[in-house]
């Protein structure tokens, strides 16, 4: 991987050598890349480097990733505050994976802020805020944190994959798959190189695909189809949006993570250039934004939803009463953004 110099790997080795206990922290609402890279690094540190390594997640992992998380001792900072606080305070190194700003570890942040342990960052989001990290390995051109971590682990192993645990490789392949939307987005030559090497090392990609795409509950399919059929608005300017309230989630019987990926669907329509998905949760809207080439989902997330991410895949939040008067005003808010961003639309197509 370009830019992953001998000096960086040397600095990483030194950081690791000073810590007996390492705590890995990932972004809130952890996805396949966050969980995959977190578990891969944890297994590598435990089984190859003999560290006392643990993984702290800011909130619940989606049920759709239970094939990765089941049987793993993962600490949830929201529901297991004591354990998270202890794990972080006892660690001699905190490794932040798949986040570009420290505050994205949300419920884990107060514990992190109390610790004076060195901080390592491995991430691929745009605009990393690398201040406050002792070593930052940030590659916004990489498809996923799992892609970067693959090269990091291999470099730590002097180019060999032999000692990297099979479980770590399986987790890396999962994150690579989910963050690229099954190799549809952000795929570079090194992404395919990593995938090839992982398959060559024995990772069962079909098994991962089975878990990711062929084990849904019917409620998920029904909800996603109904949302697309009855709750999708396509504006003539090319912006599409879906708003899912907590009440609707309940009525559909949806579990956390079961609308992941839905935001991509409207982009299948030729005229749609930006897709926004709002999902009400715990008194605010979580926002997912995707765009086609030439349109910046990231800028919309930064300018209007307190967020960020990647150029064509970003996220953020929309709150009331700070941003909008009430949840009912969300559609009007999006449409006003569309009007300012992409003028000249006249009517709403349903």
100 contacts ligand 5GP (rule: CB under 6 A) = yes
- DSSP letter (8 states) at residue 141: T
314 contacts ligand 5GP (rule: CB under 6 A) = yes
* One of 38, 58, 175, 309 touching ligand 5GP (CB under 6 A): 309
**φ and ψ of 121, to 5 deg:** -125, 130
Which strands sit side by side in the sheet containing 52-57, from one edge to the other?
74-76, 52-57, 21-26, 93-97, 119-123, 135-138
Judged by CB under 6 A, the chain residues 277 through 296 that form the site for ligand 5GP are 288
Judged by CB under 5 A, the chain residues 3 through 42 that form the site for Mn ion are 33
What six digits make up the tokens of 24? 């890995």
Whether the CB-CB separation of 26 and 38 falls below 8 Å is answered with yes
Whether the CB-CB separation of 170 and 204 falls below 8 Å is answered with yes
* One of 36, 38, 118, 308 touching ligand 5GP (CB under 6 A): 308
* One of 59, 98, 101, 258 touching Mn ion (CB under 5 A): 98
* One of 38, 175, 266, 307 touching ligand 5GP (CB under 6 A): 307
Sign of CA dihedral 275, 267, 170, 70: positive
147 contacts Mn ion (rule: CB under 5 A) = no
Instruction: Name the segment binding ligand 5GP (CB under 6 A); options: 67-75, 98-106, 220-228, 267-275.
Output: 98-106
User: What are the Cα distances from residue 264, in Å, to 65, 180, 276, 277, 316?
Assistant: 19, 12, 9, 9, 16
Nearer to Mn ion, 101 or 179 (CB): 179
27 contacts ligand 5GP (rule: CB under 6 A) = yes
Name the site residues for Mn ion (rule: CB under 5 A). 33, 98, 144-145, 179
- Residues lying near ligand 5GP in the complex (CB under 6 A) are found at 27, 31, 100-101, 104, 125, 288, 307-310, 313-316
């Amino acid at each position: 991987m370009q830019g992953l110099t001998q000096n960086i790997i040397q600095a990483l080795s030194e950081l690791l050598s000073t810590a007996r206990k390492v705590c890995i922290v990932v972004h809130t609402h952890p996805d396949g890349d966050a969980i995959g890279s977190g578990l891969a690094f944890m297994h590598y540190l435990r089984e190859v480097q003999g560290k006392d390594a643990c993984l702290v997640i800011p909130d619940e992992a989606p049920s759709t990733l239970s094939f990765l998380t089941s049987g793993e001792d993962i600490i949830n900072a929201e529901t297991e505050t004591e354990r998270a606080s202890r794990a972080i305070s006892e660690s001699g190194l905190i490794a932040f994976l798949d986040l570009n700003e420290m505050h994205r570890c949300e419920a884990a942040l107060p514990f992190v802020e109390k610790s004076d342990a060195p901080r390592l960052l491995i991430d691929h989001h745009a605009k990393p805020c690398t201040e406050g990290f002792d070593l930052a390995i940030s590659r916004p051109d990489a498809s996923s944190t799992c892609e970067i971590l693959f090269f990091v682990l291999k470099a730590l192993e002097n180019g060999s994959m032999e000692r990297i645990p099979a479980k770590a490789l399986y987790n890396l392949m999962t994150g690579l798959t989910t963050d690229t939307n099954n190799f549809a987005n952000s795929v570079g030559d090194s992404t395919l190189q990593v995938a090839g090497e992982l398959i060559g090392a024995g990772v069962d990609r079909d098994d991962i695909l089975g878990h990711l795409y062929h084990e849904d509950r019917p409620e998920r399919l029904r909800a996603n189809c109904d949302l697309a059929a009855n709750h999708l608005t396509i504006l003539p300017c090319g912006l599409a949006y879906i708003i899912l309230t907590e009440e609707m989630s309940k009525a559909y019987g949806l579990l956390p993570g079961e609308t992941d990926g839905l935001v991509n669907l409207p982009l299948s329509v030729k005229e749609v250039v930006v897709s926004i998905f709002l999902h009400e949760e715990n008194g605010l809207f979580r926002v997912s934004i995707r765009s086609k080439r030439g349109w910046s989902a990231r800028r919309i997330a930064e300018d209007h939803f307190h967020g960020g991410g990647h150029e064509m895949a970003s996220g953020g939040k929309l709150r009331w009463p700070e941003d909008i008067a009430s949840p009912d005003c969300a559609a009007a808010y999006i449409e006003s953004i569309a009007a300012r961003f992409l003028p000249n639309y006249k009517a709403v197509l349903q």
